[in-house]
Amino acid sequence: MINEFKIAQLLRAKLQTVSGVPAIITENVAVTMQPSVSYLREFCLFGETFDLALEANGMQRQDGVYQVDVCTPKGKGKFEGLAIVETLKAAFQRQPAAMSDGALKINLEGSSTSPARIDGEHFVYSLSIRFTVLL
């Protein structure tokens, strides 16, 4: 059975290995960020899990999106955020079995970037990284 907790752990662990990016803010934890500080927010959007084989204990597949919001101070302009997005895209580029815990394999399928938007004192780009999990 596909374990969403394990998927989220593997994706976050990969994000934590990317050098040159701001700190990651944990989902649903109240934090007051300084207007002059860049940071990342991450979210796992899980799709439906379905069986790839009819027999019992057959392979399962789940599609999803790992979204990373890149938040940079408005005073620094939007290009700092775009540079961070490019660093993250390189780290999460399309790759089969990019992450695994043995049985569970996460394939990275590509990514897309939202237009910049303003959230308080920060520019925000959302990087949506598509993934497929096979078990």
The 3-state DSSP class for residue 49 equals strand
d(CA 16, CA 21) in angstroms, rounded, equals 9
pLDDT at 111: 97
- 44 near 11, Cβ under 8 Å? yes
| Beta strand residue intervals within the chain, DSSP E | 23-25, 39-51, 60-73, 95-100, 105-113, 117-119, 122-134
What pTM, to 2 d.p., does this model score?
0.90
4-134 CATH fold: STM4215-like (3.30.2000)
Distance (Å, rounded) from C-alpha 1 to C-alpha 69?
29
Domain ranges of the chain: 4-134
pLDDT of residue 97: 87
Q: Maximum distance among all alpha carbons in the chain?
A: 58
Provide the pLDDT for residue 56: 62
Per-residue pLDDT for the chain (135 aa), expressed as one digit of tens each?
778 999 999 999 999 999 999 999 876 777 777 889 999 999 999 988 877 766 666 778 899 999 999 999 998 888 999 999 999 999 999 999 888 888 789 999 999 999 999 998 999 999 999 999 988
Chain centroid to CA 120: 22
Contact between 24 and 39 (Cβ < 8 Å): yes
> What local confidence, expressed as pLDDT, does residue 80 receive?
93
- In what helix (H) or strand (E) does residue 8 lie, and over which residues does it extend? helix 4-16
